[in-house]
């Protein structure tokens, strides 16, 4: 089974919507949009966890540690588990290279954002 692994802050930050003024709101909105895919999705966010629950097909995770590449490391670990069943959404070149080496397909945050926009 294929699963989307989404670098949440990459997708949120792919366009200047003012998301930085209310980061939790932007995260909630992304989770709602991910539901429109109607496919299995795991979104990983950086930052301090808060009440943001899984919804239907969307599993929500926060990076397991703080610091540089924290969410990237978690996404890479998930991609390693799924192998060629993973579709990783990121614009981080280093993460993209890591997960491609594990057999994952990579989609840029901008291209994925456009896909979500088409589903609205």
pTM for the full model?
0.93
Nearest Cα neighbor of 43 from 2, 88, 81, 73 is 88
Q: What is the CATH number of domain 3-119?
A: 3.40.50.1010
Report the mean per-residue pLDDT for the chain. Answer: 93
CB contact at 8 A, 55 and 75:
no
At 69-83, the pLDDT tens digits run 899 999 999 999 998
User: How much is the pLDDT for 54?
Assistant: 74
Please spell the DSSP secondary structure of the chain, one letter per residue: --EEEEEHHHHHTTS-SSGGGSHHHHHHHHHHHHHTT-S-EEEEE-S---S---BTTEEEEE-SS-STTHHHHHHHHHHHHHGGGEEEE---HHHHHHHHTTT-EEE-HHHHHHHHHHH-
Q: Where are the domains of the chain?
A: 3-119
Task: Return d(Cα 111, Cα 60) in angstroms, integer.
Answer: 21
Phi-psi sector, 46: left (phi>0), alpha (psi -120 to 50), beta: beta
At 23-55, the pLDDT tens digits run 999 999 999 999 999 999 999 999 888 888 777
User: How much is the pLDDT for 67?
Assistant: 83
């Amino acid at each position: 089974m294929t699963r989307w692994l989404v670098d949440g802050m990459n997708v949120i930050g792919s366009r200047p919507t003012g998301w930085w003024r209310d980061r939790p709101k932007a995260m909630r909105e992304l989770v709602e949009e991910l539901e429109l895919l109607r496919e299995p999705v795991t979104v990983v966010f950086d930052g301090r966890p808060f009440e943001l629950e899984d919804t239907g097909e969307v599993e929500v995770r926060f990076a397991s540690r703080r610091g540089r590449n924290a969410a990237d490391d978690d996404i890479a670990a998930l991609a390693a588990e799924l192998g060629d069943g993973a579709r990783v959404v990121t614009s981080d070149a280093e993460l993209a290279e890591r997960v491609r080496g594990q057999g994952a397909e990579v989609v840029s945050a901008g291209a994925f954002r456009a896909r979500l926009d088409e589903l609205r």
